Structure 1
Amino acid sequence: MSPLSQRGTLVIFVKAPMVGRAKTRLAAGIGSARAVSFYRQSTDILVKRLGSDPRWRTVLAVDPPAATGRGWLHLWPPHLQRVAQGRGNLGQRLRDVLKAIPLGPVVIIGSDAPQVSRDHIARAFHLLRHHDAVAGPAADGGYWLIGLKRLKAAPGAFLDVRWSGEHALADTLASLPQGFSVARLPVLRDVDEAGDLDDRILLRSIRRKPCPSSFLPPSPRGAGGN
């Protein structure tokens, strides 16, 4: 096992900040421009905060898949490795990303909980020293973090999960092999809909001028490189 894999890998699932692709449920409540502006700014903060910590290796799982190319380097820190999320539901994309990263402990988060701290991630990796998995529950029944030690096979992980609802965490844990020990982190709030935003978060995240009504991806010529 290489030093990098021993150190552990943090995977952050991110989407290009484009209207119609990122934060569509939030956009229904506060408008597309503000929703994408919130997502762009909160994701930037999260990636920079967590991606600069030398205690783990950070990989971005990006959507659309073309965002692994050179034409998209402006979206996130260019020194961070990117892998494509791929197709299918979230469970299939999680399984595909796990196959694409080095062996060893892995912690996976989305970009919907901007309050995730370095301490949260460090705690998750610490818990994986003593447990097969770790979960960070969200208040709505989903989760903001899932981690696996990956010393034992988990062929059914993330299968038959009812995503985007109150059963997501319970179904995910049920998909792990019987006997897996699971540690839990504190409950955090993720931001999926307008009601998930409190005034403090909303004011901080849209303080700047809202983004244009749409984000255009790079031209096919610019996005073709890898």
Structure 2
Amino acid sequence: MTACLLVVAKAPVAGLAKTRLGRVIGDEWAARLAAAALLDTLDAVLATPDTIPVVALTGRLAAAERSGELADTLTSCTVFSQQGTDFAGRLAHAHRSVGSLFPGVPVFQIGMDTPQLRPPMLTGAVARLRADGTDAVLGPAEDGGWWGLGLRAPADAEALRAVPMSRSDTGLRTLSALRRRGLRVRPLATLSDVDTMADALRVAALAPESRFGRAVEELRPAEAVR
């Protein structure tokens, strides 16, 4: 196995998932888009060869949109609950947990906001992480955050605890924190994640055949009357 692919995810429950998007399109539709994005992400992870699929999950899956599909898909993954008092802490704990479960295996972590990801992109990220002279890879997001983080040594995710999340400078602060730890960091391609309706339309256009693309297309009539 070349790496663990770690998905840090929230159960797509209406009113709890994608709340910023929910204020625009309604909580139920926001949860539907989140469910579609998570399913697309899991499909990509499970189709990526020579990797171990792992999911750090929070929230009640039984109350989520498309809960049956998600439960079936998650049977093919190692799943554990997120722990921590804030998002940075939960990320650090998730990496540490994967390191304990699969000692000596690098970890590449993503969220559920980039349903346009495909197996070749994940394979490329893992290859870059395993290249000589690389300790970490970081995929910046267009909003200033980041969409992917790979670490040769999962314990180095402790650097995240000092990084404020969900800010326009989170990506730069994460890069600085990793470098202060002495890590040699290589960049990945910049991607758009989904926080707003404009993001959703842009990402859906990149993958119209995906669950997410179809869900956005189904939303358009409802969105038009708002």
TM range (shorter): 0.7 to 0.9
CA-to-aligned-CA distance 1:90-149 (integer Å, 9 cap, x gap): 210011111211232100000011111212211111111231000111001101100101
TM-score w.r.t. the length of structure 2 is 0.79
1:206 to 191, 210, 216: 216
Identity %: 29
Matches within 5 A, 1:139-178: 139-150=142-153, 154=156, 156-178=158-180
- RCO (CA 8 Å, sep 6+): is it higher in 1 or 2? 1
Matches within 5 A, 1:132-143: 132-143=135-146
User: 8 Å contact 2:57–2:80 — kept in the other structure?
Assistant: yes
Shift of 1:49: 2.2
CA-to-aligned-CA distance 1:4-35 (integer Å, 9 cap, x gap): 4xx21000111111012211111111111211
2:33 to 28, 31, 38: 38
SS at match of 2:138: strand
- CA RMSD across the alignment: 2.5
TM-score w.r.t. the length of structure 1 is 0.79
Matches within 5 A, 1:123-138: 123-129=124-130, 130=132, 131-138=134-141
User: 8 Å contact 1:37–1:206 — kept in the other structure?
Assistant: no
Q: Partners of 1:128 and 1:145 in 2: how far apart? A: 11
CA-to-aligned-CA distance 1:130-184 (integer Å, 9 cap, x gap): 3100011100110110010118x63741022121111111111222253321111
Q: Which moved more, 1:190-199 or 1:179-188?
A: 190-199
Q: Partners of 2:167 and 2:219 in 1: how far apart? A: 32
SS at match of 1:144: strand
Matches within 5 A, 1:4-83: 4=1, 7-64=2-59, 75-76=70-71, 77=73, 78-83=75-80
CA-to-aligned-CA distance 1:27-83 (integer Å, 9 cap, x gap): 11111121111111121122112223332101011012x659xxx775241121101
Q: Partners of 1:92 and 1:105 in 2: how far apart? A: 19
More helix by share: 2
How many pairs are equivalent?
200
User: 8 Å contact 2:106–2:152 — kept in the other structure?
Assistant: yes
2:187 to 184, 189, 194: 184
